[in-house]
Chains A and B, each alone.
Chain A
Amino acid sequence: MVGGLFIIITSQNYLKKVVGLAIFQTAVFVFFVSLAKVLDGTAPILTKMANAYSNPLPHVLILTAIVVGVATSALGLALVLQIYKNYETIEEKEIESLELKSDK
């Protein structure tokens, strides 16, 4: 998780930032789901054999969150594409210098 955050901050490539974001989020989801685990339990699908189930609520929340994450990265990718079209680069440093030039 921290690695993802690390990538976001240090990378200069916009696509890599999106990837870093995805990793960051996924890591958080893994942590969240691990809260739901019950030792010796099974998946929360009711059967006659099992008597302990893992907690289904975090699963539901994370389902939602995964979809949200995908939506975010899709939008991010679209933005990266548009940025490339307009700037012809997706490196942060180069765009900054381009903008500095155009301001003058």
Chain B
Amino acid sequence: MRDKISSSPVLSVVSKILFAPIIIFGLYVQFHGDYGPGGGFQAGVIVAAAFILYSMIFGLSKGETLVPIMINRYLMCVGVLLYAGVGIVSIFLDGMYLDYNVLSSDPSTGQHIGIILVELGVGITVATVMIALYHSFASFGEINE
């Protein structure tokens, strides 16, 4: 099935064209979450969708060169660490856990910084986990060949 898809020139061209806009849309959703609907989750999923689309059309191995498995896995951890780390930092700055007020001299700015960082952590984790899920499902049963 995959051979058919990747041999179709229309699909490959369209997907190449689509790739960048999807990522940009994802980033928009990520950072515009404060003002409109959206945020880390949605952005993460959209970014992941771009990569999934890519590796669906060009095959798993091609997709792997784009985001190597191991790096993807480490990024999963980085997302969680970023989120939890914000909490630890706020403890360092003599606040409660996840107390963003102390991140900056102005509590309101502190909240902004905190929310952006945290959403970024969520986005990274969601995106990478989704890619990892796709990877595991797609490669299942074929790795031992």
Q: Which residues of A contact B (CB under 8 A)?
A: 43, 45, 63, 67, 74, 77-78, 81, 85
* Total interface residues in chain B, CB < 8 Å: 10
- Contact call A67/B41, Cβ cutoff below 8 A: yes
Shortest CB distance B133–A (Å): 5
Task: Specify which chain B residues have a CB less than 8 angstroms from the CB of A85 in the assembled complex.
Answer: 140-141
**B residues lining the A interface (CB < 8 Å):** 35-37, 41, 126, 133, 136-137, 140-141
Docked-complex contact A78 and B37, CB < 8 angstroms: no
**Which label, helix, strand, loop or mixed, suits the secondary structure of the A interface?**
helix
- Report chain A residues within 8 Å CB of B136: 78
Task: Compute how far the CA of A77 lies from the CA of B35 in the bound complex, rounded to whole angstroms.
Answer: 35
Residues of B contacting A67 in the complex (Cβ-Cβ under 8 angstroms): 41, 126
> Chain B nearest CB: distance from A83 CB in Å?
12
The 8 Å CB contact of A74, one of B36, B37, B41, B133, is: B133
Contact present for B137 and A77 (CB under 8 Å): yes
Once bound together, how far apart are the Cα atoms of A50 and B141, in whole Å?
54
Q: Are A78 and B137 in contact (CB under 8 A)?
A: yes
Complex Cα distance, B136 from A63, in Å, reads: 25
